[in-house]
Amino acid sequence: MKLLITGYPPFDQFPLNSTHQLIESMKADFPEKLAGLRESIVFDIVDFDNTDSDSQQRTMLASYRRVMDTYQPDICLFCGQAAARTMLTLETIAINIFKGDIIDPSGPPAYWATLPEQKTLIANLRAANIPAKLSHHAGTHLCNHILYAALRDAEQNGTGVKAGFLHLPMTASQVIECNENRPFVPLSMTREALIIAIRLLAETARAA
């Protein structure tokens, strides 16, 4: 199994991004709990030009395809920040819309996420006192877009790549930085959530 986990860089009004912090933290300090899986997991940032919507879409897709070509993953867990959400939310569906426009005119209106054991993952997170739930709307911006692109590519190319998307609230350091009343979870909690997710995905892959 090759598992790819990605985040996004800081953008818009936020000088930090919770998923960027998470990915860089995992790369700099790989969890000892995952020591036996080190060769199976890769972390990266899907970058983009934030100048305008067209630039966002074009450059995000280019960066997404770069990481996919580089790592050739079997499973993808894309992560993005949802600053208004109070819980970690695992997206069940990706829709064929980016900011009001169709992503792929030849594609279906939506795809179900194919990440294995989604309900079990949420149950495991909640059992570990991590606030988490399934979500049925990933938005209409880049978070939804990357999941739709991955599911569309898997269908068209017949690769069998499984994909899902995890939205994260802001971190405590972000709230301190922006000095606003916003929901947040500690970075240590999102690290633990990722450890739980990776272990479950590895177990599922071994049992397949």
Q: Where are the domains of the chain?
A: 3-207
In the predicted model, what is the mean pLDDT of residues 196-201?
A: 98
Return the pLDDT at 96.
98
Return the pLDDT at 141.
96
* Chain-centre distance for alpha carbon 191: 13
Q: 31 with 69: CB under 8 angstroms?
A: no
**Distances in Å between the alpha carbon of 21 and those of 142, 156, 168, 203?**
18, 33, 11, 26
| pLDDT digit string, tens, across residues 126-177 | 999 999 999 999 999 999 999 999 999 999 999 999 999 999 999 999 999 8
CA torsion sign, 25 to 118 to 172 to 17? positive
In the predicted model, what is the mean pLDDT of residues 89-112?
A: 97
| pLDDT digit string, tens, across residues 54-79 | 999 999 999 999 999 999 999 999 99
List, in sequence order, the alpha helices (H) in the chain: 18-28, 53-71, 118-127, 142-157, 172-178, 187-207
Return the pLDDT at 117.
97
**Cβ atoms within 10 Å, residue 157:** 9
Is the model more confident about 56 or about 208? 56
| pLDDT digit string, tens, across residues 5-33 | 999 998 877 778 999 999 999 999 999 99
Q: How far apart are CA 89 and CA 91, in angstroms?
A: 6
pLDDT at 185 over 90: yes
Report the CATH number of the 3-207 domain: 3.40.630.20
- Predicted structure pTM score: 0.96
The mean of the pLDDT values for the chain is 95
| pLDDT digit string, tens, across residues 97-106 | 999 999 999 9
